Amino acid sequence: MFFWSENKLNMSASQAKSDETLMGQARRLESIEPFHVMRIITRAMELQNSGTDIVNLAVGEPDFPTPKLIVDAAVKALRTDSMRYLPALGAEELREAISQWYQQRYGIDVPKRRIAVTTGSSGALLLTMGVLVSPGDKVIMSDPSYPCNRHFVSTMEGQSSLVPVGPDSNYQLTAELVEKNWTDHTVAVMVASPSNPTGTSIKLDVLRDIHRVVRAKGGTLIVDEIYHGITFGEDEMSALAFADDIFVINSFSKFFSMTGWRLGWAVVPDGFINSFEKLAQNLFISSPDVAQKAAVAAFHPETVHECEVYRSRYQEQRDFLLAELKDLGFKIPVDPTGAIYIYADCSEFSKDSFQFCQDLLEKAGVAIAPGLDFGVNRASEHVRFSYPKPIPVLTEGVKRMRKYLS
Ligand SMILES: Cc1ncc(COP(=O)(O)O)c(C=O)c1O
């Protein structure tokens, strides 16, 4: 096990320099890493601005527009209402709509009072860590996993216990791993299913076993379901189906293609609602009014149909890129069954994935994310491909990589 906040990975020279000059900044910043992929993305933009065509598979967001009814609802709201603060836990109408979504989608009862609308799932994750983590507390999470999670924990002056996972457990935690890595300071376990960067899901019975261990230890389970809706050929069920003492995180960003609207939600266990609300009032006042009015239309059958069409496109894109990457020589021992990513072992080509990403960008015009962003477990041998792009763009990316790698 590895404690993230005790480590400081190599930063770029400019980052280190700017830290030196920022005398007086809070110590917690020492354990917060920048997104390494941002260096790739910034360079990709520079190249693009100077006329070089770049196939960008680095950014983790849908390529499709926000569905029509959502946009129409936003325009109507902007024309007819003044945009104001709303209750910290969200507009009643939207909380009710989310509650009904759980009923309609999974057949489970999630009362409106437990639903908190937040500024993206990022807001939900920050507030969740805010109510669960005291200085020195530890939160178990898999390595690799979504980078911001460990930084939400550091912001609360806790530590992430990064547990290396691999193909044998579908790149996910198991009850045994949680049990083995639990310490007296551990207060929570965080999982994401499907996961960023691996695109793999955690089976409901495995999640149930993890929950059992966490409860027996007196801790709390947090389940990030932000990529629900973007799964291929597997049964999708919320963790709320088997327990109501779990924090479940979700978002309008991915399935509903609304990254820029900054809207998500948390389903909060009963005992924590008041604390969650108090913190939300103080940190955010409320989530954006226009986004909340628009998001009610996300659950309209016409919108859901549009998003299901997007889902089938994602599947085509995944199928295409997965086969091509394997053919190129990337090792992908577990096929991703959801999210919008392929996590690939690039050791055949390089043992320094960051350098590999830089070279691929400079010499082949393809931008991808280095493993370093997602943890330390064999990070230098892995890269992440984000595939929401039209097939002709993916085809061009593969063509360039084939030429470069050969
Ligand atoms: C696993 C995971 N959780 C949470 C987020 C945050 O997303 P948002 O704040 O847009 O809902 C992301 C974004 O990529 C993610 O991959």
Q: 224-259, pLDDT tens digit by residue?
A: 999 999 999 888 999 999 999 999 999 999 999 999
Write down the pLDDT at residue 235: 82
146 CB less than 6 Å from ligand 1? yes
Q: 121 CA distance to ligand 1 centroid (A)?
A: 6
Write down the pLDDT at residue 21: 54
Q: Report which ligand 1 atom has the smallest distance to the Cα of 339.
A: 16
| Contacts (Cβ under 8 Å, ≥6 apart) of 304 | 298
Mean pLDDT of the chain: 94
- Round to whole Å and give the CA distance between 24 and 56: 37
**The pTM of the whole model exceeds 0.75:** yes
| Contacts (Cβ under 8 Å, ≥6 apart) of 123 | 262, 264, 280, 283, 284, 287
1 pLDDT higher than 60: no
| Region of poorest pLDDT, from 27-41, 216-230, 318-332 | 27-41
Half-sphere exposure of 367 (CA within 13 A, CB side): 23
Residue 146: other Cβ atoms inside 10 A? 23
Q: 265 CA distance to ligand 1 centroid (A)?
A: 11
DSSP 338: B
7 pLDDT higher than 50: no
In sequence order, which ranges of 50-116 are alpha helices (DSSP H)? Answer: 68-80, 92-106
Q: 251-301, pLDDT tens digit by residue?
A: 999 999 999 999 999 999 999 999 999 999 999 999 999 999 999 999 999
| Region of poorest pLDDT, from 37-46, 78-87, 142-151 | 37-46
305 pLDDT higher than 90: yes
Q: Report which ligand 1 atom has the smallest distance to the Cα of 251.
A: 11
Higher pLDDT, 5 or 157: 157
Q: Which of 98, 122, 171 to mutate to test the pocket of ligand 1 (most atoms within 8 A of CB)?
A: 122
Q: 190-230, pLDDT tens digit by residue?
A: 999 999 999 999 999 999 999 999 999 999 999 999 999 99
Write down the pLDDT at residue 399: 98
pLDDT average, residue stretch 393-399: 98
Half-sphere exposure of 192 (CA within 13 A, CB side): 25
199 CB less than 6 Å from ligand 1? no
- Round to whole Å and give the CA distance between 9 and 379: 12
Q: 129 CA distance to ligand 1 centroid (A)?
A: 15
Ligand 1 atom 13: residue of nearest CA: 60
Write down the pLDDT at residue 10: 39
Q: How confident is the model at residue 32 (pLDDT cuts 50, 70, 90)?
A: confident
Write down the pLDDT at residue 31: 83
Q: To which residue do tokens 């960003």 refer?
A: 253
Q: 129-155, pLDDT tens digit by residue?
A: 999 999 999 999 999 999 999 999 999
Q: 305 CA distance to ligand 1 centroid (A)?
A: 23
Higher pLDDT, 6 or 28: 28
- In angstroms, what CA-CA distances link 61 with 11, 67, 240, 317? 25, 15, 26, 14
Examine residue 135 and say whether the peptide bond preceding it is cis (omega within 30 degrees of 0): no
State both tokens at 199. 């695109």
- Round to whole Å and give the CA distance between 59 and 332: 20
3 pLDDT higher than 60: no
- DSSP letters, 222-261, are EEE-TTTT-BSSS----GGGT-SSSEEEEESSTTTT-GGG
Q: Which of 247, 253, 373 to mutate to test the pocket of ligand 1 (most atoms within 8 A of CB)?
A: 253
pLDDT average, residue stretch 376-380: 95
Write down the pLDDT at residue 84: 97
Write down the pLDDT at residue 383: 98
Instruction: Determine contact, residues 225/249, Cβ cutoff 8 Å.
Output: yes
Q: Report which ligand 1 atom has the smallest distance to the Cα of 252.
A: 11
- 3-state SS, residue 83: coil
60 CB less than 6 Å from ligand 1? yes
Examine residue 269 and say whether the peptide bond preceding it is cis (omega within 30 degrees of 0): no
Instruction: Determine contact, residues 206/172, Cβ cutoff 8 Å.
Output: yes
| Contacts (Cβ under 8 Å, ≥6 apart) of 168 | none
- Domain annotation for the chain: domains and CATH numbers: 13-64+304-405 (3.90.1150.10), 68-300 (3.40.640.10)
